[in-house]
Structure 1
């Protein structure tokens, strides 16, 4: 292991720092209240810790794939930090990977995710205070904007720094958010009855509808 490799990894202080910054940043947007909220947020936090542990601590994915990577791409120092941007490397990006197409796309998905979480929480908080169903703002277009936000952030990080562990965690966490969403919907239906059923029939669960059909139909009735 050369000096450059030592500088690229083993930086556990950065693992702790980056994990804490992103977890606290997400916490300030999401503001979990129920046990279900904390469960979903804890799973998201585990994804971030796993990600940064490989990004700055120990490059497990690179080590496990080192034989295949070195044989297919012999001109790349796979233990350098830049090589951790696997998609840029595998697709032959020649410039700085931080300005590569996958890295730039990752920023878009991560930024979108944090915006969805923040904007979704504001409407949900207002609805809870007023004792009504959340149907305004982002909730006109999708029933679970905050879960969509978490999935968007995780997908963005996968584009930026894919690892075997986070690739396994991503579909598991996505399934978990789907399960949590269905549980929340059952509770909402029990509480709001026909109002919920009308809303759910016009508004998709995860894939947003830009038309906002629920609001349009309400205006016509």
Structure 2
């Protein structure tokens, strides 16, 4: 069996990689409520779908093989490196693991997991004191953990895009937005005007650039959210 034949069908790697990343995310997110488990389960399904194509069966490559071969001849599209579609299509074919898209994916994935971890610590402390979480990443956006999950998924899409995960991504983003809105209604019911004031001052998912720059320069950065 040659190396290229071994590029896929490695279902043990699918299981191992899925378990590692899911447990890694679980250690940061620590879902407790039904809503937490729903968002975490959807994220886990995204990872399983991703690694199934990365190491199990390259469904996307199989479906697009005719078009890819006609547009980009000379590439063995069923080699494992060719799964890095963006690197191949934009001409980075020496070692895709050191290509610009792959390096960008590391930044997005690492930043996403970091954001989930930091946000969870702030949220946990706030829950222990039955107060609002407004410090750390919560001073920039109201839902940093959901932003973290979106960054991780986006990073994997940049690294290894597949038709299934591309279809799942917008669905999951919409789901996280709806979950965030439901959490906000509960927070308003519990904290009233304090949370309404927080909502007016801090955006939901996209931090204000002027506030980020102001914080970096040591200013307060007051303003309305985008």
TM-score, with normalisation over the residues of structure 1? Answer: 0.94
Post-superposition CA distance 1:8-64 (Å, at most 9, x none) = 000000000000000000000111111100000000000000000000000000000
- Structure 2 CA distance, aligned partners of 1:143 and 1:117? 13
Aligned match of 1:45: 44
Tell me the equivalent position of 2:72: 73
The total of aligned residue pairs comes to 217
Q: Secondary structure at the match of 2:116?
A: helix
Residue 15 of structure 2 aligns to a residue in which SS? helix
Instruction: List per-residue Cα deviations over 1:69-125 (Å, max 9, x = no partner).
Output: 011111000000000000000001132000000000000000000011000000000
**Residue in structure 1 matched with residue 97 of structure 2 by the alignment:** 98
Q: For residue 113 of structure 1, what is the aligned residue in structure 2? A: 112
- 1:155 matched to 2:154: yes
The whole-number CA distance in structure 2 between the counterparts of 1:34 and 1:197 is 23
Q: Aligned partners of 2:103 and 2:16: how far apart in 1? A: 22
**Distance of 2:128 and 2:105 partners within structure 1:** 35
Is the aligned partner of 1:143 residue 2:147? no
**Alpha-carbon distance in structure 2 between the residues aligned to 1:26 and 1:95:** 32
Q: State the match for 1:183 in structure 2.
A: 182
Alpha-carbon distance, 1:217 to partner: 7.9
Mapped to 1, the partners of 2:35 and 2:4 lie a distance apart of 41
* Contiguous gaps of at least 5 residues in structure 1: none
Give the 5 Å matches for 1:16-95: 16-95=15-94
1:164 is the counterpart of 2:166: no
SS at match of 1:118: helix
Q: Which runs of 5+ in 2 are unaligned?
A: none
Q: Match of 1:206, SS?
A: coil
